[in-house]
Amino acid sequence: MMIRKRILSLTVALGLSAVALSACSSGAPGADAPVPTGTVAGAPSWCGPKQITLGLLDGFGGNSWRLITTAAGADEVKKCPSVTKYEYADGQGDTQKSISDIQGMVAKGVNALVVFPDAGEAMLPALRSAYQAGVVTVPYRVNPGGKDGVDYDAWIGADFSQDGTNWANWIEKNLPDGGNILFMSGPKGNSQGEDEYNAMTGILDPAKYKFVGETPFEPTNWDPALSQQVLTAAIAKNPKIDVIVSDFGPSLLGALPEFQKSGRSIPALVTSDGNSLGCFYEQNKAANPDFKMMTVATGNDNVRLAVQYAVAKATGGQLPSTTKFEAPIFEDSVSSTPNPVECKSDLPGDIFLSAEMPAADQAALLKK
């Protein structure tokens, strides 16, 4: 709820400043003919007066996180009446289809494209050709390579080092005497895990805090079965694990009980949120005295910032002040700031309470 308030106040602040700044909207070189600038009454400041068609493209739309993210994108688009037409395409995990989706939308004459480039650099040529055709092109979350203003308008990436910083700060505060940290991330060599690790090691004193297991992280492919096997081995090998860091919390649900099987308490867990994880915490905190939990938002709202940027650029609205999505801290079982751990046990486990979209709406989305 705090996040919604924060976003609301941010929007209001931006709206006020927009009145002063509307005359000098910063158009990057290489964009097409200058668009009229200004604001639309009753709409956010990023919504300019020029009427446009917007396309939202997903590389792979087939899981609950993506469903909620897509719906969040569509919801953000609705806030701006200047977007007269909205289209969506799902690449279904197929790079070829994702590329032809972009080309198809450009051919149909959309003015702005927001793209989740799952295939990474393989998507760059398609993004570049859309940008060169004069379409406002905004890839988000996954880095497609290339440069802002050369290959596309702007990449609205997630700042994963911010997650690492948030985690490290929490660890320093709650375990001031140091401890053993087990960091689990996705496939070997993924840049998200590496960014997070580098941010953490930049803050934590190596004399006090020791990363056990493979560095920068234990590869788990974000797979629950593999996570379980890795954690089992780590528990057996390390008599003392004080903190588990994971960048995909819900994948640990089956693995965490391994501690109890070994007669140990689940240790502190710093990770990303998920309703199932919140409920797991509530059910297990009593039996596990060392189990504390802090989460950062899983980042469904990354798409909103990308939509705001694309709409602002194409309609002549006020550009957002940042092109990096920083996931806010969501839950903290120790300080309860900004939120205590949340569990909605009557709703599905795979919704994300950190998202701006209300929990009931997310649940309805997944029931479909």
Partner 1 sequence: MYAMERQVSGLKRPSRRASKGLITVGVALVILLVASGLLAPSSLSQGAVLGMLPFASVLAVVGLGQMLVVQQGGIDLSVPGAVSLAIVIVSRIPNGDNALLVPAILLAFGFAAAAGLLNGFLVGRLGLNAIIATLGTNALLFAAVLGISGGSPTTTTRLLQSVAGGLSFGVPNSVFFAAAVAVVVILLVKKTVAGRRFEAIGANPVAARATGLRVRVHQMAAYVWGQMLYCIAGILLAGITAQPTAFQGNTYLIPAVAVVVLGGTSLLGGRGFPLATVVAAVFLSQLDQFNLAVGVPYAVRTLVQAAALAVGVALYTIDWSRVRARFGSSTRSTKPKPTPSPA
Binding residues vs partner 1 (CB under 8 A): 61-67, 188, 213-214, 219, 223-226, 228-237, 250-251, 253-254, 257-258, 261-263, 276, 348-350, 366, 368
Between 137 and 185, whose beta carbon lies closer to partner 1?
A: 185
CB of 214 to partner 1, least distance (A): 6
CB of 367 to partner 1, least distance (A): 8
Between 155 and 222, whose beta carbon lies closer to partner 1?
A: 222
SS3 per-residue string spanning the chain? CHHHHHHHHHHHHHHHHHHHHHHHCCCCCCCCCCCCCCCCCCCCCCCCCCCEEEEEEECCCCCHHHHHHHHHHHHHHHCCCCEEEEEEEECCCCHHHHHHHHHHHHHHCCCEEEECCCCHHHHHHHHHHHHHCCCEEEEEECCCCCCECCCECCCEEECHHHHHHHHHHHHHHHCCCCEEEEEEECCCCCHHHHHHHHHHHHHCCCCCEEEECCCCCEECCCCHHHHHHHHHHHHHHCCCCCEEEECCHHHHCCCCCHHHHCCCCCCEEEEECCHHHHHHHHHHCCCCCCCCEEEECCCCCHHHHHHHHHHHHHHCCCCCCCCEECCCEEEECCCCCCCCCCCCCCCCCCCCCCCCCCHHHHHHHHHC
CB of 267 to partner 1, least distance (A): 14
Between 95 and 276, whose beta carbon lies closer to partner 1?
A: 276
Between 283 and 322, whose beta carbon lies closer to partner 1?
A: 283
CB of 21 to partner 1, least distance (A): 42
Between 157 and 250, whose beta carbon lies closer to partner 1?
A: 250
Between 258 and 342, whose beta carbon lies closer to partner 1?
A: 258
CB of 185 to partner 1, least distance (A): 11
CB of 304 to partner 1, least distance (A): 21
